[in-house]
Amino acid sequence: MLIDHIGHAEFLIETGSGFRIVIDPYDRSCGYPVRPIRADAALVSHHHHDHDAVELLEGNPRVIDAAGEYTLESGLQVTAVLGDHDDARGEKRGKTLHFLIETEGLRVVHLGDLGCGLPPEHAKTLRRPDVLMIPVGGYYTIDAKAARETAEELEAGTILPMHYKTRYTADWPISGPEEFLKLYEGADIRRDGEVLRITRGDRSCQPKVFLFKQG
């Protein structure tokens, strides 16, 4: 499996069969560069402009934007559970989906715009991901401390920080990834990564935190 962080909360996952999943594609108003990406499926955690720009994807992908269980192809399952975008049960910013992708003996979780701690039933469903994509910037989502606590609760393998301040979002009221990385001082952290390549057999060789290069 190959995982590429396009930017913000958008990721591209390509399985060994060549099936391509894009999660939370952003639009041009976010400031990040937009490049054409072919997708077979698009997972949309919620319908905010920085997470649901499926019209920019190529290939007429199948869109998943509601809670449920889905089979994308043989041996490729997606479970979407509905959570909160804030700490007031969604009254401030609405709801967000959390995605569990299961394929090739791997569990990959994308938490969308998680805005509070996970309820026990959701934590149980999402527990022990081999790869965890988690927001760390705060303000619109959980902050670095809450992200660390959530990752520990889920017993995450490799953690991919997302939804943090970069040079493209310098005027956003969120933090960069540094606060989160400080909480893993002494752990195996890989910075400026290009693409994460992971298989079931090499999970133990992967870093604890993988921070992608941003543009």
Q: What is the pLDDT of residues 154-169, one digit of tens each?
A: 999 999 999 999 999 9
Tell me what pLDDT residue 49 has.
Answer: 82
Tell me what pLDDT residue 91 has.
Answer: 56
Residues in the chain: 215
Tell me what pLDDT residue 133 has.
Answer: 98
**What is the span of the domain harbouring residue 134?**
2-212
Nearest alpha-carbon partner for 1 in 72, 129, 103 = 103
Tell me what pLDDT residue 89 has.
Answer: 62
Total domains present in the chain: 1
Q: What is the pLDDT of residues 44-80, one digit of tens each?
A: 999 988 889 999 999 999 999 999 999 999 999 999 9
List of the chain residues with pLDDT < 70:
85-94, 215
| Measured distance CA(111)–CA(96) in Å, rounded | 8
> What's the CATH number where 134 sits?
3.60.15.10
Sign of CA dihedral 197, 135, 148, 83: negative
Phi-psi region at 191: left, alpha or beta (left = phi > 0; alpha = psi -120 to 50): beta
| Measured distance CA(10)–CA(50) in Å, rounded | 9
